[in-house]
Amino acid sequence: MTPASDRSGSAPEVGARSHGSVGSYLARQRRLRGISLEELARATRIPQRSLERLEAGAFDTVSDGFVRGFVRTVALALGLDDDEAVSRLLVEPGKPTSGGSRRGLFSRRLVALVGLLMLLGLGVAAAFALIESLTPEGSRPLVRRDPVRALQEASRADTPSEGSARSVPAAGESGRP
């Protein structure tokens, strides 16, 4: 194939998309049509400073609604396909990004934090297990039950139900007539 035949059909779109940002693409198309930035700013009602930043590539890594609106408006004003221009802005799936997105950075930090907390919890549990295994049997605190409470609970279990309650003499009283 000759270079001229490579440039026919859909080949220019693929080549144009592979090199350059959406800002440089829009700047190139504006210059080809002989439109100045001032004229484009008047036609789109987008401030000239924002158009300069768009063409300089300041918005290439940001694809929020405002930037997509800018790209779409500029593309329509230049007579371009607005969907194709916006698609240049969006990152293709599987294509690595140079700076990464905020969401990706946040999720990586969150995963690292959760992993660190799990590691810290595992370390604390291992320390407690080590201390427990090194403590001699005689030095462990002895837990005793309260004897008065145990006697009270035992007497409750021994007393019959309310229907057959027997009278218990109070202290100092004798059970004799």
CATH number for position 23: 1.10.260.40
Is residue 95 in a domain?
A: no
Is residue 75 in a domain?
A: yes
Is residue 77 in a domain?
A: yes
Is residue 118 in a domain?
A: yes
pLDDT tens for 1-49 read 344 433 333 333 433 444 478 888 899 999 999 999 999 999 999 999 9
Is residue 132 in a domain?
A: yes
Residue 74 sits in the same domain as residue 131: no
Residue 23 sits in the same domain as residue 83: yes
The pLDDT score that the predictor gives to residue 154 is: 86
Enumerate the H helices of the chain as residue ranges: 3-6, 11-18, 22-32, 37-44, 48-56, 65-78, 82-89, 102-134, 147-158
Residue 127 sits in the same domain as residue 63: no
Q: What is the largest CA-CA distance in the chain?
A: 133
Residue 65 sits in the same domain as residue 107: no
Is residue 159 in a domain?
A: no
Is residue 40 in a domain?
A: yes
Residue 110 sits in the same domain as residue 84: no
Is residue 121 in a domain?
A: yes
Q: What gap in Å lies between CA 99 and CA 142, rounded to an integer?
A: 61
DSSP-derived 3-state class of residue 107: helix
Angle at 62 between CA 57 and CA 64, to 5 degrees: 130
pTM as predicted: 0.43
Q: Which domain holds residue 47?
A: 15-89
Q: Which residue has the higher pLDDT, 80 or 4?
A: 80
Residue 77 sits in the same domain as residue 119: no
**Which pLDDT band, with edges at 50, 70 and 90, does 123 fall under?**
very high
Residue 58 sits in the same domain as residue 113: no
Structural domain count of the chain: 2
Burial of 85 (0-12, 13-18, 19+ CB in 10 A): buried
Tokens representing residue 132 in the block: 């427990």
Q: What gap in Å lies between CA 126 and CA 17, rounded to an integer?
A: 56
Among residues 92, 44, 48, 99, the alpha carbon closest in space to that of 69 is found at: 44
Q: Which residue has the higher pLDDT, 63 or 30?
A: 30
